[in-house]
Structure 1
């Protein structure tokens, strides 16, 4: 984009420079100054109920939040005089008083709304968070006699009503029934990242946003820290959209204003950078207000550094470092290099086109587990390994493992996971992929083509036999310490980019879940070591790797007719 070309609405290409300068990382928004003055006048008089001396927001609130407040409530197109900011997503690290500030913002919104008998919602992902928000708002009203005349507080209903208009603010815990009947004129969602773990969050968000196309438009404010897991579900979608808008790739006229306190991707991946405490302040707008620099450093020393995994979680909460793959410590070493070996253009067709031979690894599962298949191809010419994977799940997985429900739905939407309708759908689906490879003369016939967990399900073996794959075409791969060659060798291939994969979120999640244990002189990766997290596709990858170590060859009679090798890029 040239210097003279107009930026898309809410684009902020200099957001990193603004953060480094101590400014709010958001686009400049035209403001109705008279309305902004009214908003600030009310907001500034509110008092903090849980701080000694009960200071006013004028004294205690960081300027960054007042900038957010004004942009959200007083934005105005100078030509049409219509509001511009209908949605706002703010991601700011933990302990920056966002829940307290949000309670004050909600009261301000209730005071500013002149339409009668409307509904506003302040939604927390858990009862503790929603009650904390209500207690803060209730406490602010209780500290000011004039506000007690303006607002009616109903503690048992967690509702605050403006007496003059009848418009109410309901503080609720998130569930699928929070939106009933009338569409709220304002919805505030605290800790949006937690909703990424809830399966029905997208449906509820669609209901909330239904008010955005009515004459009485609804506004939406989302404020959150980064997730302490890989982003998923509605959080993953909203964060991706916010970043696209910020970077000028969200269309010409978005309605969401993004304010993201985060380092650029390169700095997030650079542990030396984010461990440097001189770089922390740019992401902590309340440093010196609600955050003590000394206390933060002591917390890091005593809690954040106790293990690699603890440090990653600490960094995700206090520095908004996005957790991807690899938690260090007892994580599988291949996780350190997984992301750098991804190729989004690589799919199964491309693996088949570029490979001289392929092998298959399978890790079967029961009704409440995943069934995973991996294809490893050896690239013509370069002899790099090309990786592709797919998984199947029965509805029981979603019912019994609700903690990963939303994540699995994401993988289904990406096309990397199939939900089985009947018993045997997983086996049938896997065999169909194997038959594709067989028809393309890519599976070896002199050595086993399919590697299975030795404790694999008999239904799979029956299906293979019916499809023409006798026991010479498949082999039971020993698990545990017997997989040590794959556990140790694949990280070397990844570091040297001699293994390239299709960059799926499903595999990144699987690899990130893997933990290693030292048993005797061997490192093992087991389902037990990973706890309740799923590593099925990685185990299938190990099974396939054990076959590829045997230097398999495709049928010699057809090998001569393969196309020219693909050169290494």
Structure 2
């Protein structure tokens, strides 16, 4: 730690990974407490490995660095703890569940406060049982530990006899925290909580003890998600990366320990497919991971298809799924995340900076998403600015259970609205169009573009707002969207298209697949399969109209543009 860097910033994290070091800065320690924690941790034995080796032999130094930083950090001046939270992201099979069980036992042994509560939280019963079995097995292998700890098998908790403080191993649910706030909580596989509704609320409960005199610590350890990060997982991962990069404030309380490749390396398929580079993010290779077995698994399971390779690389190499994945992804996805302007956080912000706007709408059925996207052309720079919104009916949460957790996260972020029925959904979308119209920024002709399928109720709602042809136009789909599909990526590459980084659009851009048909690239719902791309299709519709170089309510584009899509095509 140096005076010229914020706390826990580690700008040389990639260099540390390449050197085989733990990707964290130097953490000041209470050396006596650190030594005590290490002595206890190292004597614990692995219950499920032949010979039951002690952790002094079986565990790598990377996790011992985590152990002492979390349990023994100390400000050299104030003598107060520095690390109140820790997020470790490490790929599968690096023994994280076993190690956190051992860390939990160590923390329980180190805690002198009486009658307190500690938790190890897992997203599923299988994981929680595995964690408890490991802790229980370590105690059974050492007679002295049986004198220190009492194990209550059927309730899955362990009590330190001297203090009465309990370590409970629980499966996550929304009522997990009741009564006293835990003084320590370990969350295994945090990324899975990103798929659960109300996980953010539970995390707030767990952290509620952080502002009390008896403060609580939180350790989160996880692999990368097998789908695009969402919910509480995305929130915590973004926070951790910002702290690591020195952008998380001057005195954060979370220490990030992230085993991942830099973004440019994640985008470089040749780099991460090279087995010589895998060890950089696998700190336990040679211990719990057999390098040859890992390669065999990749060849026989990971490379079966593009989809299996994406999931395999996300779990074994922490390659993030979503924006930036190559292959048959839409060519604009790689640059989408580089074009964020955080000031574009609302439609009002876009309107204020624009000289003209166009609107694209992709309307879904009763069990689908309806999306609207506004593109504004900035007054001086002529840069395109983007903002979008989604509407669904309540039944979508039941019909689309596979993405319900994502939709709920978009709803919480204010990017999605649940309408009571189809009429209200259409009216809400039409109201947004009317707002843009009233700003004076829509052109007289071809300002609102629609995919013509299933839009009868929407057309009625637009007419009720006095928004009619030629302002409202049908946008031909399929290959005639080629101009938008191929040109928007070029604008993103040059940062001539900026957006607010809305999670729903990041998701849609990452989902989109493109296919070469004849001489044209197409992005369609059929090509992209079950993945939802409705917001991106709405963007393409708006882009097709913006390519006509419209003028805001000051110029008639002319009779020859009565069918603007044919001209653009």
Query: TM-score per shorter chain, which class?
Result: 0.7 to 0.9
Alpha-carbon distance change, 553 to 74 in structure 1, aligned in 2, over 3 angstroms: closer
Whether 2:489 is the aligned partner of 1:490: answer no
Counterpart mapping for 1:152-167 below 5 A: 152-167=150-165
Alpha-carbon distance change, 247 to 355 in structure 1, aligned in 2, over 3 angstroms: closer
Counterpart mapping for 1:249-268 below 5 A: 249-268=247-266
Aligned to 1:115: 113
In the aligned structure 1, how far is the partner of 2:143 from the partner of 2:201? 40
1:159 is displaced (CA, Å) by 1.7
Counterpart mapping for 1:283-362 below 5 A: 283-325=281-323, 327-340=325-338, 342-346=340-344, 348=347, 358-362=357-361
Aligned to 2:417: 418
SS of residue matched to 1:169: strand
Q: 1:64 aligns with which of 62, 65, 74?
A: 62
1:462 is displaced (CA, Å) by 1.4
1:547 is displaced (CA, Å) by 4.4
SS of residue matched to 1:47: coil
Q: Which runs of 5+ in 2 are unaligned?
A: 558-569
CA-to-aligned-CA distance 1:89-140 (integer Å, 9 cap, x gap):
1111221111111111111122222222221111111112111111111211
Check whether the contact 1:341–1:494 (CA below 8 A) recurs between aligned residues: no
Aligned to 1:470: 468
SS of residue matched to 1:52: coil
Aligned to 1:246: 244
Alpha-carbon distance change, 548 to 212 in structure 1, aligned in 2, over 3 angstroms: closer
Whether 2:22 is the aligned partner of 1:24: answer yes
Aligned to 2:207: 209
Check whether the contact 1:30–1:78 (CA below 8 A) recurs between aligned residues: yes
Aligned to 2:561: none
In the aligned structure 1, how far is the partner of 2:512 from the partner of 2:11? 37
Aligned to 1:563: none
In the aligned structure 1, how far is the partner of 2:113 from the partner of 2:490? 61
Aligned to 1:12: 10
In the aligned structure 1, how far is the partner of 2:84 from the partner of 2:3? 25
1:371 is displaced (CA, Å) by 1.9
**TM-score normalized with structure 2 length:** 0.87
SS of residue matched to 2:154: helix
Aligned to 1:86: 84
Alpha-carbon distance change, 280 to 329 in structure 1, aligned in 2, over 3 angstroms: closer
Alpha-carbon distance change, 77 to 466 in structure 1, aligned in 2, over 3 angstroms: closer
In the aligned structure 2, how far is the partner of 1:554 from the partner of 1:210? 51
Aligned to 1:36: 34
Check whether the contact 1:142–1:148 (CA below 8 A) recurs between aligned residues: yes
Check whether the contact 2:120–2:185 (CA below 8 A) recurs between aligned residues: yes
1:178 is displaced (CA, Å) by 0.9
1:192 is displaced (CA, Å) by 0.8
Aligned to 2:453: 455
Check whether the contact 2:177–2:202 (CA below 8 A) recurs between aligned residues: yes
In the aligned structure 2, how far is the partner of 1:475 from the partner of 1:553? 16
Aligned to 1:433: 432
1:189 is displaced (CA, Å) by 0.4
SS of residue matched to 1:361: strand
Whether 2:497 is the aligned partner of 1:500: answer yes
CA-to-aligned-CA distance 1:315-340 (integer Å, 9 cap, x gap):
22222222232544443444344445
In the aligned structure 2, how far is the partner of 1:550 from the partner of 1:45? 72
CA-to-aligned-CA distance 1:389-434 (integer Å, 9 cap, x gap):
2222344444554543443344345543334467644333322332
1:241 is displaced (CA, Å) by 1.8
SS of residue matched to 1:220: strand
In the aligned structure 2, how far is the partner of 1:431 from the partner of 1:549? 23
Check whether the contact 1:211–1:217 (CA below 8 A) recurs between aligned residues: yes
Alpha-carbon distance change, 548 to 81 in structure 1, aligned in 2, over 3 angstroms: closer
In the aligned structure 2, how far is the partner of 1:96 from the partner of 1:327? 24
CA-to-aligned-CA distance 1:39-80 (integer Å, 9 cap, x gap):
122211111111111111111011111111111112223333
Q: 1:223 aligns with which of 221, 224, 235?
A: 221
1:538 is displaced (CA, Å) by 1.9
1:30 is displaced (CA, Å) by 1.8
1:349 is displaced (CA, Å) by 5.5
Whether 2:135 is the aligned partner of 1:140: answer no
Aligned to 1:102: 100
Check whether the contact 1:244–1:250 (CA below 8 A) recurs between aligned residues: yes
Aligned to 1:404: 403
In the aligned structure 2, how far is the partner of 1:180 from the partner of 1:487? 55
Q: Which runs of 5+ in 1 are unaligned?
A: 560-569
Q: 1:533 aligns with which of 528, 531, 534?
A: 531
In the aligned structure 2, how far is the partner of 1:223 from the partner of 1:512? 25
1:206 is displaced (CA, Å) by 0.9
**TM-score normalized with structure 1 length:** 0.87
1:486 is displaced (CA, Å) by 0.9
In the aligned structure 2, how far is the partner of 1:210 from the partner of 1:436? 41
1:204 is displaced (CA, Å) by 0.7
Deviates more, 1:410-419 or 1:105-114: 410-419
In the aligned structure 2, how far is the partner of 1:71 from the partner of 1:543? 52
In the aligned structure 1, how far is the partner of 2:377 from the partner of 2:34? 63
Aligned to 1:194: 192
SS of residue matched to 1:310: helix
Aligned to 1:281: 279
In the aligned structure 2, how far is the partner of 1:328 from the partner of 1:212? 41
In the aligned structure 1, how far is the partner of 2:288 from the partner of 2:2? 41
SS of residue matched to 1:204: helix
Aligned to 1:75: 73
SS of residue matched to 1:469: coil
Deviates more, 1:158-167 or 1:521-530: 521-530
SS of residue matched to 1:55: coil
